[in-house]
Structure 1
Amino acid sequence: MNFDADYTMTIDGQGVAGASTFPVINPANEQVIAQAPDCSREQLDLAVAAARKAFPKWRATPFEERRALLQAMAGAIFANLDGLKRLLTLEQGKPFADAEFEVGGAGFFLQGTATMDLPVTVNEDSAERRSETRHVPIGVVGAISPWNFPVILAIFKLGPALFAGNTVVLKPSPFTPLTTLKLGEILRDVLPPGVLNVVTGGDALGPWMTEHKGIDKVSFTGSTQTGRRVMQSASASLKRVTLELGGNDAAIVLPDVDVNKVAPELFWAAFRNNGQICIASKRTYVHKDVYEPLSKAIVDYARTIKVGDGSEQGTLIGPIQNKQQYQRVKDLIADSKAQGHKFLLGGEDHDGPGYFVPLTILDNPPEDARIVNEEQFGPIMPLLKVDSIEEAIAKANASEYGLGGSVWSADTQKALAVGEQLETGTVWINETQHLSPTAAFAGHKQSGVGVENGVEGLLEYTNAQTIVVKKATAA
């Protein structure tokens, strides 16, 4: 397969050019690397019609056959891993190693999803009747994936949606459409026509999907602000929705930690994927007894990290993915400068092409600062000093977000007692950002609606159906 050209949408199992095209930019040098197809409203109608046409047969496909096809999808991804990872680095900016981890992780998540089963609950089995509740597919799913992890977050949706018996119209971010288009091309040889359709386009395409009468459910990953608009649009036809939205995750560091051991782990908790992760640690609360040595250890470690073009050897952190987010991160840093916050590292402007922001670590900014309250989604780490763990818990929970959080301590049980008090969908103890295809991942508060992954995430793509059979009575 040629990964450098011929970018077409997948509609009803066929490659389809867009009604027009739009440019895709390499964030490391701001150069246009390709033209992606721009889907028209009429082409979206065709994709939805193809999904609707394919749905009855796909729904009737035996569950074990769908399980085998998910495994085949994973095998196709693994077979094309090198080409997909290089294309992902080109359009997203992340280093090759991170791109390989993401693409390989997509295959792993498909394999993990394929190990699950849809539960059947027997409600009554008496002399008079048998009642059981099973779970049936919803119909056509509109899946909208983001630019920070375009491959694996698309698979978070495709795996369970297809496994449950739905058909899908998938739309990636216009900032990172190329790898998803190639993924659609690869899977044309695996899935029946119409079961998976991939369309790309600009800002109009997402709203067209969320309001489309032929789409029964929308699964969206992105910002909380956009998620609210998706939910509002979907409400007109009572579409089912799964919304995985923003986060402002807190890390809480107890005073008994091994400073030198935990410093690199806390660094990557904040800076992995250049901080462009919904579950990155965006507020790090450190007990006053270890604040000074831990701050120094994190800054010292940060100085060893190479930031640059993801395709260059030795690069560990790439650029911000797009100009819009780049400007937003720069604005947050400028606001902190204007407010007189202390910078332990970074804060300066990047000189040269590419959307690069130097790694930035702040020393105990005020709790009401924008750089603490807002989701930075960039290479920024506010270190916050607390006098007690009770104070850290209260501040961690004083947020409109509730996606994830972490607790760090030499005493696992003590850390667990703290973690159980966090108002978040996921809590990690002495690690962060570990996700599993078989473990539920959900946001509390403004961080989302519904669940991804695990049996709970699989059920999001189904409707409950109770069947009651009255038994023949004895004479």
Structure 2
Amino acid sequence: MADNNDNSSNNSNNPTLEFQTFHNVINGAIADTPGRYRRTVNPSTEKDNHDVPFSGPEDVDRAVEAAKKAAGTWSAVSWNERADRLQKFADAIEGIAGELAKLLTMELGKPPMWAGYEIATGIQWIRDFSQMSHPGEDIQDTQERKVTTRYLPLGVVVGIVPWNYPIQLACMKIAPALLTGNCFIWKPSPGSPYTSLKVAELAQRFFPAGVLQALSGDDDLGRWLTGHPGVDMVSFTGSTAVGKLVSQTCSKTLKRCTLELGGNDAAIICADVDPVAVGSKIGLFAFCNSGQICIAMKRVYVHESVYEAVLATVVGFVQSLKLGIEEDAFMGPVANEAQYNRIRALLTDIKTSGLTVAAGSTEPLSDRKGFFLVPTVIDNPPDDSRVVTEEQFGPVIPLLKWSDEQDVIRRANDTDAGLGASVWTRDMVQADRMARQLQAGNVWVNCHAEMQPSTPFSGHKQSGMGVEMGVDGLKSYCNVQSVYVKEA
């Protein structure tokens, strides 16, 4: 692809990125919003971060116009060339991974180990997507006729990305959208715009103007983008409540939308496990990223015969965790004040309900700045308690006893959410029997929260609509076209 708007033919003259100023990226260039800026708060220090743009409707119009202009020429670029540009983009991200990880720590309080992990995973996902093949196929090929199915780009895609994994989850959307020939407008969360804007700025070295843009703003920005008649698809990851609003807005213009929403993942621990090994895994999958993961363990059902041993291991694991943002810290603060207050309210409910705290505390830390909370384990609460029925999305986890297999399956499925679930056992016959009954889009056996671009990721019930990742995910960014050909 070569035209006057192609910024990607030679990146040797581009200046080095700096990490003190942050801008929108519109039509291949950084774009200011004069007089309209906002700031977030560093959750580790409660001090203000840098200024970021506060986009208005006119910025949305400019970005959509640029994307529509670029869509025709970008879709004409070959699949292999689009994949090659994505690979080079991934290499460039890797080149500044250390600086990006520092930004994640600044804006979200991720300890270095988890910040680095997020950047590395996002890079790998772009590379993995770039290895995937075009999903078109031949249906019939005879002397009488040939029937083929093509998957054509939709045009302009908006990606709305949550604050908990702003780069990793953006890469899950950007790579398949661009690979299939779409142009992409990136809307990072108001709570985590900094790293996203820098990655979008970097992208201008590899993609023509208008192909990948980014706009920072508040919740109004999301409404303007999802309601814009020039947008063809919205890919949203976030809460179920907001996802319903996105779906309603998209329906007014019959936009495609993919929704990856909240979860309340159940883990079922069977009687034959090694309590020490499994207990440590529970601690890892419940408290990494301070529990702020849509597919984190949220409810852990442990067979009564091993319950006490598993609980003791989880308690020991939690008590060994280091809080902070130092190199050796495991758990940072909750990412923003709103989420901190929400979890504080849940902890207050645990206290007033008289539930048993096996580890941690229902009280805030009084001796340090920041939105830090002690990782907390609740011992066998009632099934109807808030800590069981609600998605915590923070460093709080309930462990519950079970004895009857069908009963625990019923309890695990007793939720409007259906994003993920796991079964832990040495008996693969039992594992398969239980997994088939779990009402979740992603089921893991003796592991949890694993994802890969080659495999579809979706939610059941109110945990989502549509598919990300895998061949099905590629197709979700396309219009399907069936072609019937007969000799004249």
Fold shared by both chains (TM-score > 0.5) = yes
1:10 to 1, 20, 25: 25
Structure 2 distance, partners of 1:129, 1:71, is 38
Give the structure 2 partner of residue 425 of structure 1: 441
For the pair 1:337 / 2:351, whether they are aligned, the reply is yes
Say if 1:118 and 1:459, in contact at 8 Å, map to a contact too: no
Q: Is the 8 A contact 1:287 1:389 kept in 2?
A: no
Q: Is the Cα contact below 8 Å between 1:92 and 1:321 reproduced in 2?
A: yes
Give 1:434 deviation, angstroms: 1.1
State the distance in 1 between where 2:312 and 2:183 align: 52
1:267 maps to which of 266, 269, 283:
283
Aligned twin of 2:387: 371
The offset of 1:242, in angstroms, is 0.4
Instruction: Select the residue among 122, 129, 132 that pairs with 2:145.
Output: 129
Secondary structure of the structure 1 residue equivalent to 2:85: helix
Contact 2:21 2:51 (C-alpha < 8 Å) held by counterparts: no
Q: Partners in 2 of 1:130 and 1:471 — Cα distance? A: 9
Equivalent in the alignment of 1:454: 470
Counterpart Cα distance in 2 of 1:416 and 1:465: 37
C-alpha separation in 1, matches of 2:309 and 2:148: 60
1:287 is displaced (CA, Å) by 0.5
Question: Hey, what does 1:434 align to over in structure 2?
Answer: 450
Q: Could you tell me whether the CA contact under 8 Å between 1:91 and 1:178 is conserved in 2?
A: yes
Q: 1:320 and 2:331 equivalent?
A: no
Q: Root-mean-square deviation (CA), in Å?
A: 1.1
After TM superposition, give the deviation of residue 119 of structure 1 in Å. Answer: 2.3
Contact persistence 1:3–1:84 (CA under 8 A): no
> Retained in 2: the 8 A contact 1:67–1:114?
yes
2:19–2:198 contact (8 Å) kept in structure 1: no
223-232 or 94-103, which deviates more = 94-103
Once residues 333 and 396 of structure 1 are traced to their aligned partners in structure 2, the CA distance between those partners, rounded to angstroms, is 22
The alignment partner of 1:7 has SS state of coil
1:254 and 1:389 in contact (8 A); partners too = no
Distance in 2 of aligned mates of 1:96 and 1:169:
28
- The match for 2:67 is 51
| Structure 1 counterpart of 2:31, one-letter code | V
Alignment of 1:163-312 (within 5 A): 163-308=179-324, 310=325, 312=326
**What is the Cα deviation at residue 301 of structure 1?**
1.4
1-structure distance, mates of 2:286, 2:405: 20
2:168 maps to which residue?
152
Q: Give structure 1 stretches of 5+ with no counterpart.
A: none
Cα distance in 1, alignment partners of residues 33 and 160 from structure 2 = 18
2:131 alignment counterpart: 115
Distance change in 2, residues 1:3/1:339 (3 Å): farther
Q: Aligned partners of 2:91 and 2:178: how far apart in 1?
A: 16
Tell me which of 347, 355, 380 is aligned to 2:362: 347
Amino acid at match of 1:329: I
Structure 2, unaligned runs of 5 or more: 1-15
CA contact (8 A) 2:113 2:327 kept: no
Q: Deviations over 1:216-259 (max 9, x none)?
A: 00000000000000000110000000000000000000011111
Q: What's the offset of the Cα at 1:120?
A: 2.3
- How far has the Cα of 1:128 moved from its partner? 3.2
Deviations 1:191-230 (A, max 9, x none): 1111001100012100001100110000000000000000
Partner of 1:36: 52
For residues 201 and 252 of structure 1, the distance between their equivalents in structure 2, rounded to whole angstroms, comes to 41
Q: Per-residue displacement from partner, 1:376-398 (whole Å, max 9, x unpaired)?
A: 00001100111222221110011
Contact 1:274 1:378 in 2 (8 A): yes
1:121 deviation in Å? 2.7
Q: Tell me, what secondary structure is at the counterpart of 1:289?
A: coil
Question: In structure 2, how many angstroms separate the alpha carbons of the residues matched to 1:114 and 1:471?
Answer: 36
Give distance in 2, aligned partners of 1:62 and 1:313. Answer: 43
Q: Find the residue that maps to 2:223 and give its secondary structure.
A: helix
Q: Write the distance in 2 (CA, Å) between the matches of 1:467 and 1:418.
A: 42
Cα shift readout 1:360-409 (whole Å, capped 9, x = no counterpart) = 11011110111110110000110011122222111001110100011111
Q: Which runs of 4+ in 1 moved over 3 A?
A: 1-4
Partner of 2:40: 24
TM-score (norm 1): 0.97
Mapped partners of 1:420, 1:26: distance in 2: 43
The answer on 1:140 being equivalent to 2:134 is: no
Contact 1:397/1:423 (8 A) holds in 2: yes
